Chain A
Amino acid sequence: MLARLKGKWTYFVIAALLLFLILIPFNWSLGQYTVLMIFIGLFTMVTVGLCLLLGYTGQVSLGQATFYGTGAYISAVLSKICGVNPWLAMLIAAVATGAFAYVIGYPIFRLRGNYLAVATLGLGVIVYILLRQLGPGGPDGMAGIPYLSIGGFVFDTSFKRYFLVWFFCLAVLLISQNIVRSRTGRALRAIHGSEAAAESIGINVDQFKVKIFVLSAVYASLAGSLLAHQMSHISPGSFSPLVSIIIVVMAVIGGLASVWGAIFGAATVSILKYELLLGFGEWDIVIYGLILMLVMIFMPEGLFVRLRELYGRWRLRYAQRGAET
C-alpha cells in the first residue's frame, strides 16, 4: 500500500518537475532565473555523486569541489590552449578525473570516518592551491573558453545552455537512480550497513568504494566542464574547499539517501547563495553552517527525505479517513 503510494508519488513528481523545468526559460517572470537554474543543474550533478558516496555507501568526501575543478580546468586548457574540440575536451576531462579519483581512491579509502573526511578535505585544499599557483591565469583564472556546439548550433546563450545542462543533469539523475535500484546499489548500501557483513556475502568492499568514488568524480567533472564551456571564464575560487562544504550542505538538505533530493538540496542552497543571501557577502557561510547543524540535529535523514515521509504519512492518514467515512 505504502509502496504503491510512493511509486505513484514519484512518477507524479518527476512529471511535474520535468514540465516545470521545460517551462522556466519561457516564462516571463521566471525567465530571469535561467542562469540560476543552470547553476542548480550543475550543482545537482555534483551533489548526486556525493549522495551516492555519502548517503548510500556511507563514505564521506569533503573534497568533491576538487573534481568539479579538475573537470573545468582540463576542459578549459584543452579547448582554449590546445584547440581541442570542446566535446572531446569534456570527455578527456571526465576520463582523466575518473582516473585521478581511481588512483587516489585506493589509498584514501584505507581510511574511515573522520580520517577519511580530513584526507578528502586535504585533497581539496591541495588541488585548490595548485590551481591558484600553477593553473593558467593563477587566482584570476582563465577567460575565453570556447562554447560547446553541435554542428553549427552554438550554445552561446543562457536559454540554450539551460537545456544542455539540464539534459546532462537529468541523465545523471536517471543513471544514479538505476544504479541505486540494482545489485550494485544494494552492495553500496550493504557497505553502509556493515562492512564485515558485506564482505561475508561476497561484496568486494574496497573496490565498490573506489568505483562509486570514481563515478562521483566523473559526475563532478562533467559539471565542471559544462561550467567552463558556458561561463567562458573560470577561476580557482569556484572550486575552493568552501565549495566542497557547500556541496555537503546540499547533499545533507537533499536527504542523503535520495537521488532526486539532490535537486532539492542544490536548489535550496543555490537560491540562498545567489539570491536571498547576496546582501550577506561572505557571511553567507555562517548561514550554511547553521543549516547544516540544524538539519543534522533535527532531521539526520535529510530535509527532503523528512518532508517526503511527512507527506506520505499525511496521504496515508487522508486515505484511511476516506475509507472510514
Chain B
Amino acid sequence: MSEPILETKSLSKAFGGLVALDKVDLAIEAGKITAIIGPNGAGKTTLFNLVTGVYPASDGEILFQGTLLKDTPPHRRAALGIARTFQNVLLFGNMTVLENIMTGQHPRSRYGFIGAALRLPKAHREEETISLNAMKYLNMVGLGTYAEQNALSLPLGQQKLLAIARALATEPQLLLLDEPGAGLNKLEKQELSDLIRRIRENRISVILVEHDMPLVMGLAEWVIVLDSGQKIAEGTAAQIQRDQRVIAAYLGEEVE
C-alpha cells in the first residue's frame, strides 16, 4: 500500500464525560473511495470534525499526506487539500448557485482587500480563472442551467450536489462527504454515485459517512465500521457484510 492520504493514530475525543471517539487508528488509502459506517452516535461526524479541525482532539494524532495536523485551523486545512460537506448542507443562502462555487475557489486564489478595492489587473485575471473553474465544477455536478438561481431555491438533491461542487472548487486531495445520500430519492442517489466515481477518477480520495447500505456497498472500495467510538471492523464491502461483529452491532437483520 502506498503512503496513506490520511492516518489517525490512537485518535480520541471526549466531550466532558462522553467519549465520542476512543483510540481510533485509521489509514485511508489514497485515490480510493472509503466508507465509514456505524450506528448513530458511533463517532463518524466527530471524526470528520477532528480531521477538518472544527475542534481539537483530546488525544492522538492526525496525519494528512504524512504531515502532522496539530493546531492547524480549519481554513488552513482546507488550503492543504481537505474539503468536506455537511450533513445539513450549509449552502450560502445569500448567494447564487455559481457564487457558492466561486467562493469555494477561495484557497486557490490570492488577491485581497486592496486588489479588490482598486480592481487591480491581478484581481481581474484571478476573477476570470475563478469564474472558469467554477463553471467547470458546476457542469461537473450537472447544475449548469441553474447558475444564476439562488442556492436555496434548488431542491435538496441538487443542493447536496452543489455542496459537493463547492467543496471540489477548493481543489482538494481528500473529500469528506457527510451523509451525502440522506434525503435523496433513488434517481438522485444514482446521480450521486456516478458523481462520486467521477471524483475518484480525478484522483481525489473520498471518505463518505453514509447510512444507506446499498449506496455504500456499491461505491466503497474499503469500509470502516465504527461503533460507540471504536473501530470494530474494516475490509472490503463483501468482507464487512460477512463480519459477525458488524452484523451484531449494526447491520442486524438487514443482512441474511
**Residues of A at under 8 Å CB distance from B?**
3, 175, 178-179, 182-187, 189-190, 192-194, 196-205, 211, 215, 257
Contacts and interface: CB of A to CB of B under 8 A. Distances in A.
Given A179-B117, A183-B106, A194-B92, A201 B78 contact: yes
B224 interface: no
Choose among B73, B106, B109, B123 the residue with the greatest number of A CB atoms under 10 Å from its CB.
Answer: B106
21 contacts: A183-B106, A183-B112, A184-B116, A186-B95, A186-B99, A186-B106, A187-B106, A190-B95, A193-B90, A193-B91, A193-B94, A194-B90, A196-B54, A197-B91, A201-B103, A201-B104, A201-B166, A202-B75, A202-B76, A202-B106, A204-B73
Interface string B112-123: 110111110001
B84 interface: yes
Contact of A202 (B79, B95, B116): B79
A211 B113 contact: yes
B199 to A, nearest CB: 16
Contacts of B76: 202
Nearest to B49: A196
Given A183-B130, A201-B167, A215 B54 contact: no
B107 A201 contact: yes
Interface of B: 52, 54, 73-76, 78-79, 83-84, 86, 90-95, 99, 102-107, 109, 111-113, 115-119, 123, 126-127, 130, 148, 166-167, 169-170
A94 B50 CA distance: 41
Contacts of A194: 90-92
Contact of A179 (B86, B105, B109, B116): B116
A183 B83 contact: no
A186 B117 CA distance: 13
A187 B103 contact: yes
B135 to A, nearest CB: 15
B117 A178 contact: yes
B127 to A, nearest CB: 7
Contact of B92 (A182, A185, A189, A257): A189
Closest 5 CB pairs of A and B: A202-B107, A193-B92, A182-B116, A202-B78, A197-B90
A183 B123 CA distance: 9
A205 B53 CA distance: 14
Contact of A200 (B52, B105, B112, B117): B52
Given A178-B116, A183-B111, A192 B94 contact: yes
A186 B54 contact: no
A175 B119 CA distance: 9
A201 B170 contact: yes
Contacts of A193: 90-95
A212 B107 CA distance: 19
A302 B96 CA distance: 20
Contacts of A196: 54, 86, 90
A154 to B, nearest CB: 30
Contacts of A187: 103, 106
A76 to B, nearest CB: 27
B236 to A, nearest CB: 30
A43 B151 CA distance: 34
Contact of B112 (A184, A190, A199, A202): A184
Contacts of A211: 113
B78 A199 contact: yes
A149 to B, nearest CB: 27
Contact of B113 (A179, A200, A205): A179
Nearest to A187: B106
B95 A201 contact: no
Contacts of A178: 116-119
Contacts of A201: 78, 83, 103-104, 106-107, 166-167, 169-170
